[in-house]
Amino acid sequence: MATSEAFLQVLGGSLPSLFGSDDSFRKLGSSHTSRSFIRIRKKRGPICVNFLNCSHISYRAIRVDCFQSTRQCVHGDIGHSNLRSVNCKCQQADSASSFASEKGNGSWTIDNDQSFDTVHGNTPSVMQFETVRELKVGEENFQSNGSLPPNGLVEDTLNRIAGNSIEDEAWELLRESMVYYCGSPVGTIAAKDPTSSTADVLNYDQVFIRDFIPSGIAFLLKGEYEIVRNFILHTLQLQLGMDSWGNFMFITGYSWEKTMDCHSPGQGLMPASFKVRTVPLDGDDSATEEVLDPDFGEAAIGRVAPVDSGLWWIILLRAYGKSSGDLSVQERIDVQTGIKMILRLCLADGFDMFPTLLVTDGSCMIDRRMGIHGHPLEIQALFHSALLCAREMLTPEDGSADLIRALNNRLVALSFHIREYYWIDMKKLNEIYRYQTEEYSYDAVNKFNIYPDQISPWLVDWMPSKGGYLIGNLQPAHMDFRFFSLGNLWSIVCSLTTDDQSHAILDLIEAKWTDLVADMPFKICYPALEGQEWKIITGCDPKNTPWSYHNGGSWPTLLWQLAVASIKMNRPEIAAKAVEVAEKRISQDKWPEYYDTKKARFIGKQARLFQTWSIAGYLVAKLLLANPSSAKILISQEDSELLNAFSCAISSNPRRKKRGPKSPQKTYIV
């Protein structure tokens, strides 16, 4: 690797709101023709050209500002089509925007003696330079006295070189997976497996909302904000159903053409994925245009709409603001509208007595039939996290008062419900074992009429004496005792669990390391469905066979959630140990999507290689462990007022206090 590198990073100017005001928002109606694409016209309107003066090669960058009807000159590095960053020594001809200059996020170069962007921890090349210097020093010492450097120094240096080489490879692969739209990066494809044929690609060449989250976090931790900003705003356009110039395209109140059998889902739904397509320009076969083609679930396997996409979008939006310091994005009227639409969709009243979200199978990371229909833990953890993030970002105004009140009430009820009824440890297991059934009263202990015979033999043997976890699902007469990793880890991150419960989850992970980590972290769930149970619950799914894919498979992307959870509880050594396990083979195995068998010894039988979120998950874990304080962009702490309201709910719980005369109803102002 050369000791002198130059990187070019160009951030466009701040994009104005798509709506001029609330009045203009209301004036936009259903008169606009509905289209199923966002279109970027390439031969219409002025196009601005910027020249980047390079010492070796001149790149001409052309970018159209997709968010304005009048195009403006902005900077972007789009002159190369192989999706890799420019490695020559470049200088920007024009100055970047004032915001980019103030935040240190404009054009910059790196050389041996030049300064680095230490404000955002963007110092990856420092390690590389230090390694090179150590090697040079060792070489000079050897040449001067003819003796080898100490064994410890050699071993340490070689280990650092090996670690850096894996990270360098991961960054190169991540950048190769970047997708460009209108000359600007807007996301990363799910996988870029060179061994897959065109017929086997399916939708792995699309940008998935949930898959991009670790990629986006990796770019944020590196101080590269443009791709995350573009992703947030373009997916917002897809949610709101607008064209490239900010015009609404509604059909009878529903955006886009996200229908199946003439039925449209509720407003606020985020797409599962989108794809950039190049199509002939209308009326002009000699010209082409780029379009964003979203999938809201109408083309997905199983035809299931994604519940988690909007929740992840809110979490990433907050992380972007905290990392970049650019709060102008979350304060935009269109972004505020997008947040409110997601919240209203999730907070809508339905035929359910529980504060948890009622969703169907396949609506989250486990996107196939796996018996998680009902109130799966993963969705509840993301829901809780998104509510906290949204409350932090919503601007105070008259129109938001009712929504914020509903949000606060839901947070209290959701926290109480999950902590009280989803938690399982040896003490709770003994309590369930002695449950009385068919109880009818307000004072019932067994509120959900759980039958003790549901306790499986595997759980009796598996539950450690120290530790516990949140069960996977809770419904009337049903407790899913499986351990689901993402839901438990993210419950720690967003403070859905108490501190004691969070430590207990990590205690369980350490106690059951050989089951949950083994040869490759991290099990998506434990244990796998087998035998007749597998046949009934999965429908004999040939991809979800025992200890494969979503049925007990091991997913390297979960490394980053493990890192955030471990760092939050001041136990980073857990994640560091898992990363060390992954580094032994993940690069040699070509970054698979998942691993099979109980010990994760085989690459998944249908796993894509060079899976982007496997690559990004590893990088985020490494970056967080190198700078634990950066995890704050993802962590949500429970504030004192919310905790006080939760304590009041606990004290009035009939399980802890017998029901007496009704007292005046309390209202908690959170």
pLDDT given for residue 651 in this prediction: 66
pLDDT above 60 (res 117): no
pLDDT given for residue 486 in this prediction: 98
Query: Which residues make Cβ contacts (< 8 Å) with residue 469, sequence separation at least 6?
Result: 423, 424, 425, 483, 488, 504, 505, 508
Q: What is the pLDDT of residues 388-430, one digit of tens each?
A: 999 999 998 877 889 999 999 999 999 999 999 999 999 999 9
Place 247 in a pLDDT band, splitting at 50, 70 and 90: very low
* Cα 429 from Cα 508, distance rounded (Å): 15
pLDDT given for residue 649 in this prediction: 62
pLDDT above 70 (res 358): yes
pLDDT above 70 (res 46): no
Query: Model pTM?
Result: 0.74
Lookup: tokens for 227: 């791709």
Helices (H), 272-332: 308-324, 328-331
pLDDT given for residue 113 in this prediction: 37
Lookup: tokens for 545: 């066979």
pLDDT given for residue 258 in this prediction: 58
Q: What is the pLDDT of residues 496-533, one digit of tens each?
A: 999 999 999 999 999 999 999 999 999 999 999 999 99
**What is the average pLDDT value for the chain, to the nearest integer?**
77
* Cα 557 from Cα 563, distance rounded (Å): 11
Lookup: tokens for 413: 């009820």
* Cα 468 from Cα 447, distance rounded (Å): 21
Choose between 484 and 7: higher pLDDT. 484
Alpha carbon 339 to its chain centroid, in Å, reads 16
pLDDT given for residue 282 in this prediction: 77
Residue spans of beta strands (DSSP E) within 124-245: 178-181, 184-188, 207-208
pLDDT above 50 (res 23): no
Sign of the C-alpha dihedral computed for residues 594, 595, 600 and 603 taken in this order? negative
Contact, 118 vs 36, CB < 8 A? no
Q: Which residue is associated with the tokens 């064209």? A: 243
pLDDT given for residue 157 in this prediction: 56
* CB-count exposure of residue 411 (10 Å: 0-12, 13-18, 19+): buried
Lookup: tokens for 368: 């196939």
Q: What is the pLDDT of residues 208-223, one digit of tens each?
A: 999 999 999 999 999 9
Q: What is the mean pLDDT of residues 614-631?
A: 98
Place 105 in a pLDDT band, splitting at 50, 70 and 90: very low
Query: Which residues make Cβ contacts (< 8 Å) with residue 144, sequence separation at least 6?
Result: none
Closest CA to 489 of 519, 457, 521: 521
Over pLDDT 90: what percentage of the chain? 56
pLDDT given for residue 299 in this prediction: 76
pLDDT given for residue 135 in this prediction: 45
Q: What is the pLDDT of residues 261-314, one digit of tens each?
A: 666 666 788 999 999 998 888 777 788 889 999 998 787 777 788 999 999 999
* Inter-helix orientation angle 308-324/226-240, to 10°: 140
Lookup: tokens for 477: 């007469």
pLDDT above 70 (res 36): no
Over pLDDT 70: what percentage of the chain? 67
Which domains can be identified in the chain, with CATH numbers? 172-248+265-650 (1.50.10.10)
Helices (H), 548-595: 559-568, 572-583
Strands of the sheet containing 49-54, edge to edge, are 59-62, 49-54, 90-92
